[in-house]
Amino acid sequence: MKKTKDSFLLLLFLFAITFAHAQEAVSWKLNITVAPEIKESFIQGGRLILHVTKQTDREPRLRSEIAFGVTPQYWDVSKPFVLDAKDKNVLNIGLDKLKGNASEKYYFQVVYKQNVDDGSENVSGNLYSNVDSVLFSNTLQLNLTLNKIIPPATVVSHPFVKTVEIKSTYLSAFSGKARYLKAAILLPSGYFDNLEKTYPICYRAAGLNGRYTAINGLISNKAFTDWWFTKTAPQIIYVFLDSQGPYGDTYQMDSENNGPCGKALTEELIPEIEKQVRYKTDSKMRFLTGNSTGGWVSLGLQIFYPDFFDGTWSYSPDPVDFEHYGLINIYEDESIFYNRFGYLQPGRRTIYGEPTFSMRDWIAGENLNSRTGNYLVSGGQFGAYNAVFGPKGKDGLPSLMFDPNTGKIDHDIAKQWEKYDLKKVLEKNWTILGPKLQGKIWIWMGDMDGLYSNVATRFLQKFLDKTENPKSDAKISFTAMAGHGQEWSDKAVLTLIGEKVANK
């Protein structure tokens, strides 16, 4: 046991040396100013993030290889804030990718995350600069100005598209300020032909940090609309849910940190939607679907509200078993950064099994994006997981399940995640849940899932295959050599739901 702990401490020491070396790789100073026309919109306490890339096909803030992050303690916006790359409070990622020389051009852009109601970066109310470019230098000095505000997202205007927005009594009471629930609705082609008819309704849970504005992409997809607005397409009301939350995606779940999001969804938003589209609850045709995070949410909602929903089609769900949280057992492993053999724990891979991203790198990126300097309010995957699944801390913020710098797991907190471990929930409550879930679970997974989520789904299948009283009839399928969400398609899932309704 001592040998294992000594090895772990050695790994942490080597990581510290590597990190310190990375901090000294460049000597950059950037003067960041706030344009006079947006000073009134500036809010103290936000996270300043500098994005750097050699790519020219997108703005750096949309995806960069190199980034720096710092939270100014107090910023007198009448003066520039100096972002010093060598400052110990400035976190960075990707400096190992700086293999440039004086002939290579890099593109710079800065974002100021100040929207405390939305953990994501490129969302309404946050500030950003124009893109500037310079030739590579180890001793760079640059001036950037925050001169733009990200506007609120809007839903396309279309005769078959409706939007719903309501103030949530439950969430507003929890937060002590107004919180709203939103959804966008795509109506079937025959909706206006018979104003008395009730249609099946399917709620589409978004991928990580997805918004109800995802309907815009579907409406702009000519191949989809050419099919949807024909008599051969299934006649289903398709609802796009919104997952906005102060710590990132809310997973539509009741939680100590985000509040009663599941209760608000099922008791406030869905009743209002169904009133507006004249859905009859006694028709028992209220379905769920989603991909990735949406795959977990759609399955989770079906399990936690087995009588309310009538079936789910879940694609590539996030880990449904926390003993296989990717490749990590959160209840027994010592760290999420290193596996039990002492090797860096991979977080992502190609369909050929090649690791592309370590868990250590993943969390470093989330630490950088968070105003707290750790993944707590990063708005990313693990910031969201932590807020949804974990308890509230003494400071009113979520309790960290693992150390942001060493990856060491706090098993007392990990134990409290169990109530969201879908396999454990089913194991503990099968005599009650089993009968209610018959005919309601359909899952697809690629067997080379890029996030290793197929492992958890395999163990869920092993449990369901052994169930009795009743024997589960859940349909779980795996495609060999398929990656994350590879077979996800709105058209495909709507067709499957249409077939179920037709055979009802």
CB burial readout 118-157, b (16+ within 10 A) else e: bbbbebebbbbbebbeeebeeebebebbbeebbeeeebee
Q: Using CA atoms, how far apart are residues 461 and 484, in angstroms rounded to an integer?
A: 18
Tens-digit pLDDT profile for residues 255-290 = 999 999 999 999 999 999 999 999 999 999 999 999
Indicate the residue type of 261. C
Question: 161-321+421-502: which CATH topology?
Answer: Rossmann fold (3.40.50)
Q: Using CA atoms, how far apart are residues 35 and 310, in angstroms rounded to an integer?
A: 52
Report residue 20's pLDDT band, with 50, 70 and 90 as the boundaries. very low
Same topology between domain 2-149 and domain 161-321+421-502: no
Q: How much is the pLDDT for 138? A: 85
Residue whose tokens read 């990735």: 292
CB atoms under 10 Å from CB of 235, counted, come to 17
What residue spans define the domains of the chain? 2-149, 161-321+421-502, 324-419
Tens-digit pLDDT profile for residues 234-262 = 999 999 999 999 999 999 999 999 999 99
Cα torsion through 449, 452, 453, 455, rounded to 10: 110
Closest CA to 426 of 475, 459, 454: 459
Q: How much is the pLDDT for 196? A: 86
Closest CA to 490 of 277, 214, 285, 271: 214
SS3 assignment for 56-118: CCCCHHHCCCEEEEECCCCCCCCCCEEEECCCCCCEEECHHHCCCCCCCEEEEEEEEECCCCC
Tens-digit pLDDT profile for residues 206-240 = 999 999 999 999 999 999 999 999 989 999 999 99
% of the chain with per-residue pLDDT over 70: 94
Question: 2-149: which CATH topology?
Answer: Immunoglobulin-like (2.60.40)
CB 465 within 8 A of CB 472: yes
CB 23 within 8 A of CB 88: yes
